[in-house]
């Protein structure tokens, strides 16, 4: 019964933050389908949250909602642009999608202070540097 409530396990789906050009601070967030099947009816919510290190005040960005009709196997789609000013926060992406008659969803969280330009890794899928969560 609990397995039914949790839903099927999400595998071979990733969210990446990609530095678009080494000479800029332009970053985009992408959803990547490494599955062998088509993802449909995709809904993504994004929010940043944390606290001010000096005051302890809670900080939360607006929640943004995005949708994609389909994402083919081995395809990526840009979700949104992201500014380096929010890298000090936890950046959460909640992804829900359908494959056939099954609903999948998974939460991807980029931890605060983990997106550092000097420590980005080469992402072969994009041929650019960034951070990827599976």
Give me the pLDDT at residue 1, please. Answer: 47
- Please tell me the total number of residues recorded for the chain in this structure: 134
83 near 72, Cβ under 8 Å? Answer: no
> How many domains does the chain divide into?
1
Number of H helices, E strands in the chain: 1, 10
List the CATH number of the domain containing 103. 2.60.40
Give me the pLDDT at residue 106, please. Answer: 97
Compute mean pLDDT per 10 residues along the chain, 134 residues long, and list them.
Answer: 70 98 94 98 98 92 98 98 96 98 97 95 97 98
Domain that holds residue 106: 2-133
DSSP percent split of the chain into helix, strand, coil, nearest 5: 10, 55, 35
What phi, psi does 101 have (nearest 5°)? -105, 15
Give me the pLDDT at residue 5, please. Answer: 61
Model-level pTM greater than 0.85? yes
Give me the pLDDT at residue 3, please. Answer: 55
């Amino acid at each position: 019964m609990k397995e039914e409530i949790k839903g099927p396990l999400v595998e071979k789906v990733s969210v990446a933050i990609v530095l678009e050009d080494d000479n800029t601070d332009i970053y985009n967030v992408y959803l990547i389908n490494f599955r062998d099947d088509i993802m449909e009816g995709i809904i993504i919510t994004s929010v940043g949250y944390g606290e001010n290190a000096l005051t302890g005040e809670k900080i939360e960005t607006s929640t943004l909602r995005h949708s994609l009709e389909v994402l083919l196997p081995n395809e990526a789609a840009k979700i949104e642009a992201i500014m380096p000013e929010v890298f000090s926060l936890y950046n959460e992406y909640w992804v829900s999608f359908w494959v056939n008659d099954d609903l999948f969803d998974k939460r991807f969280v980029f931890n605060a202070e983990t997106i550092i330009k000097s420590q980005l890794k080469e992402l072969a899928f994009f041929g650019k540097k960034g951070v990827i969560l599976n």
